[in-house]
Structure 1
Amino acid sequence: MIDAHDGTIVAVASVNATLAEQQLGIYNATKAAVRQLARTVALDHSRSGVRVNVLSPGPMLAGLFKRHLESATDSDKFLATRSARQPGGRILEAREVAQAAMFLLSSGSTAVLGADLVADGGLTASFVFRTGEEGASI
């Protein structure tokens, strides 16, 4: 990428890079580290034609959230409780977060450099989070 003076990197962090979730200290810290490393790489290589940005998704029906859902004693209650915390009243689909990544990878985002695009359905605008009250084990 540097030799070609062209390239785009999207590092995936999480809303947990900014807002800590209890009992997930290592996860929270590593996502914050991903965000800061990507910002540093963006600055170090911006004049090389390489763009680096961060995508910080919120809860979506994939990955860690899906594991929490599957471990819940009452998965319907878990999903309903977590959905109620979202301003839109639902958990994001993975494709919605993928579309945000596609924007960062596209030519329509050439002015975006070292940014953290938060794709969380508005969660961080009104963050309330208590892991475990829905019956999920971690």
Structure 2
Amino acid sequence: MSRLQGKRTLITGGTSGIGLETAKQFLAEGARVIVTGVNPDSIAKAQAEFGPEVLVLRADSASVATQKDLAQAVKNHYGQLDVAFLNAGISVWLPLEDWTEEMFDRSFDVNVKGPYFLIQSLLPVFAPSASVVLNTSVSAHVGADRSSVYAATKAAVLSMSKTLSTELLGRGVRINAVSPGPIDTPLYDKLGIPEAYREQLNKDIAATIPLGRFGTPEEVAKAVLYLASDESRWSIGTEIVVDGGRLLNR
């Protein structure tokens, strides 16, 4: 298959979960791929899995300087960029009273500031008719308990997908968003949720989804692939929700 044949692509947060699966599907569709990550073990594992044809870079989404360096690395490697899937992010769910300013800033730095300044840094690198896909979340629409900061970051990214679509349309850059519901990824390991609580948490979350199960990274990657490809060339500033019907239960 060749839906992305020869497309020069960048996937942030591409060493695990949704980003990793998206990279695999992009490669299967003929794309050239650069992925980023922050965890040394995940980076090494992804590089071993992909082999030398994929450039795997360490890049902290919270650092504006790193976004500039990443854009320069993309330019040096490709010359121009056809597709960017800005997927890197963190998900921290805590009650209001447990948040500190440092934690709040970290969430916004990684989830909002990083993607914003990466797009800015990539402006000279984007090829004509470039496609940018932002990974948001149904949390931008759902007032879930303990999600106040995470949901706010994703709502900001969703808004960004629309406002920057208008601003960058004249440059030929097309921006859209994918909004996953609960997805079966290594998220719990990152959150440090106790093993004993995971089973009950899984049941509680699944009960909010009409299809009765978590989604898979592959199911989200299919939507990203569509938005990245020329098949969606008339889609600008739109959002594809991939949530098993979660938003029906708002």
The reply to whether TM is greater than 0.5 is yes
> What residue ranges of structure 1 are gaps of 5+ in the alignment?
128-138
- Bigger mean CA offset, 51-60 vs 18-27: 18-27
| Cα displacement string for residues 112-137 of structure 1 (whole angstroms, at most 9, x for unaligned residues) | 1001111111100123xxxxxxxxxx
2:219 corresponds to 1:96: yes
Q: 1:19 aligns with which of 123, 142, 149?
A: 142
TM-score when normalising by structure 1: 0.80
**In structure 1, C-alpha distance between the alignment counterparts of 2:133 and 2:188, rounded to whole Å:** 21
Judged with a 3 Å threshold, the aligned counterparts in structure 2 of structure 1 residues 72 and 16 are, in CA distance, closer, same or farther, namely farther
Matched, 1:115 2:238: yes
TM-superposed CA distance for 1:77, in Å, is 2.6
Q: Deviations over 1:40-85 (max 9, x none)?
A: 1111111322110011111001254665694353322322232232
Please tell me whether Structure 1 or Structure 2 has the larger radius of gyration of its CA atoms: 2
User: Paired residue for 2:168?
Assistant: 45
TM-score (norm 2): 0.46
1:5 correspondence with 2:128? yes
* Partner residue, 1:84: 207
1:33 to 143, 146, 156: 156
Alpha-carbon contact 1:69-1:79 (below 8 Å) kept: no
2:249 aligned with 1:126, yes or no? Answer: yes
Deviation of 1:18 after TM superposition, in Å, equals: 1.4
Cα RMSD of the aligned pairs, angstroms, is 2.2
Determine if contact 1:58/1:118 at 8 Å carries over to the other structure. yes
Q: 1:105 aligns with which of 203, 208, 228?
A: 228
- In structure 2, the residue matched to 1:56 is 179
Higher relative contact order (CA 8 A, sep 6+): 1
Match of 2:43 in 1: none
> What is aligned with 2:62?
none
Deviation for aligned residue 1:20 = 2.2
C-alpha displacement of 1:13: 0.8
| Gap change, CA 1:66 and 1:39, over 3 Å in 2 | farther
Superimposed CA distance per residue, residues 85-132 of structure 1 (whole angstroms, 9 cap, x where no aligned partner) = 2111111011111111111111111111001111111100123xxxxx
Change (3 A) 1:65 1:43: farther
User: Closer, same or farther in 2 for the Cα pair 1:67/1:20, shift >3 Å?
Assistant: farther
Letter in 1 for 2:157: V
